[in-house]
């Protein structure tokens, strides 16, 4: 009897070890090709929509994931020239010869306050030379040890003050990007032991921050929900990962080559999302009630993408 029980214990231990050591796919780790990401949300825009957007002077402050999104713009434009947006590096001086999107690195990675200060300083300096301006923080700025509420309040107050200083510039706002879920043996073992792996905790705090951003800016129509786009597959499936008793969104593994930055599929998916939101949000105020009403309806539709 004792030998039988010992054999059961050993067999159970071996089974548990095999479970831990067997690699599991991350959410969204599916075979998705670039061509599987249709451009139907861009195709729903009218030529007039795109003409208005292309005639704006837009400023985009960002770092690495922002560069991935801009690469997505370029890749989409190569296939569909009608969706080309002029992109130049620098501030307002880079748009001296015409409209387009001026992009530049802002602040330092892992220092969100430096990015907020730098963005505010650059937009305030240029005054009304920008029609639209937006800042994207990176996933490295929001981690498990980040006070999401404090960071949000710092951002909100800075943007509220900037809006008063440059009333002619429409400010847009981005949710923080996510990362994929780690499925290596260490992370799986921690979950078995009831502990929260670092990547799980990081995305949990990012969700806390992003929910505050949505509550503040979504109804105002000025939100670009990058996190939602990153956690939504081309077929519309929304990915979540359970950590503790709750589930949180995560970056689809098929959108990234390294767990954080965007690969070819992710660049196309997020490039399309941001282009569409820019095209719609740039038009608010350019027309009468009927036009603004149709823009709002299309903007709501894009949130479901």
- Count CB neighbours of 184 within 10 A: 14
Q: Tell me how far CA of residue 165 lies from CA of 15, 111, 233, in angstroms.
A: 63, 24, 39
How many angstroms separate the CA atoms of 230 and 301, rounded?
17
For residues 185-200, average pLDDT: 62
**217-242 b/e (C-beta count within 10 Å ≥ 16 → b):** beeebbbbbbbbbbbbbbeeeebebe
Each residue of 42-60: pLDDT tens digit?
Answer: 888 888 888 888 899 999 9
How many angstroms separate the CA atoms of 133 and 123, rounded?
7
pLDDT at residue number 49: 84
Q: What's the pTM?
A: 0.83
Would you state the structure tokens that stand for residue 17, as one six-digit string?
């070890």
Over the chain, what is the mean pLDDT?
83
pLDDT at residue number 73: 95
For each of the domains in the chain, give its residue range(s) and CATH number, in order of start: 32-303 (3.40.50.1110)
CB 235, CB 32: distance < 8 Å: no
């Amino acid at each position: 009897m004792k030998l039988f029980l010992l054999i059961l214990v050993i067999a159970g231990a071996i089974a548990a070890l095999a479970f831990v050591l067997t690699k599991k796919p991350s959410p969204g780790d599916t075979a998705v090709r670039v061509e599987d990401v249709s451009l139907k949300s861009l195709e729903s825009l009218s030529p007039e929509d795109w003409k208005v957007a292309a005639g704006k002077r837009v400023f985009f402050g960002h770092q690495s994931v922002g560069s991935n999104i801009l690469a997505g713009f370029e890749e989409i434009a190569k296939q569909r020239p009608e969706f080309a947006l002029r992109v130049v590096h620098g501030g307002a001086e880079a748009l001296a010869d015409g409209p387009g999107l001026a992009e530049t690195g802002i602040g330092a990675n892992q220092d969100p306050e430096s990015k907020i200060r730098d963005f505010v300083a650059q937009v305030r300096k240029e005054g009304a030379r920008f029609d639209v301006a937006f800042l994207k923080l990176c996933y490295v700025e929001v981690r498990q040890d980040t006070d999401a509420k404090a960071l949000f309040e710092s951002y909100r107050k800075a943007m509220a003050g900037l809006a008063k200083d440059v009333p002619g510039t429409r400010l847009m706002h981005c949710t923080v990007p996510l990362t994929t879920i780690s499925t290596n043996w260490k992370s799986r073992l921690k979950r078995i032991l009831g502990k929260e792996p670092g990547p799980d905790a990081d995305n949990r705090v990012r969700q806390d921050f992003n929910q505050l951003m949505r509550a503040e800016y979504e109804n105002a129509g000025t939100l670009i929900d990058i996190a939602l786009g990153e956690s939504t597959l081309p077929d519309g499936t929304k990915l979540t990962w359970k950590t503790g008793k709750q589930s949180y969104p995560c970056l689809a593994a098929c959108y990234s080559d390294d767990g954080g930055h965007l690969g070819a599929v992710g660049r196309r998916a997020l490039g399309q999302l941001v282009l569409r939101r820019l095209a719609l949000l740039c038009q608010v105020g350019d027309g009468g009630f009927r036009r603004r009403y149709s823009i709002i309806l299309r903007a709501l539709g894009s949130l479901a993408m």
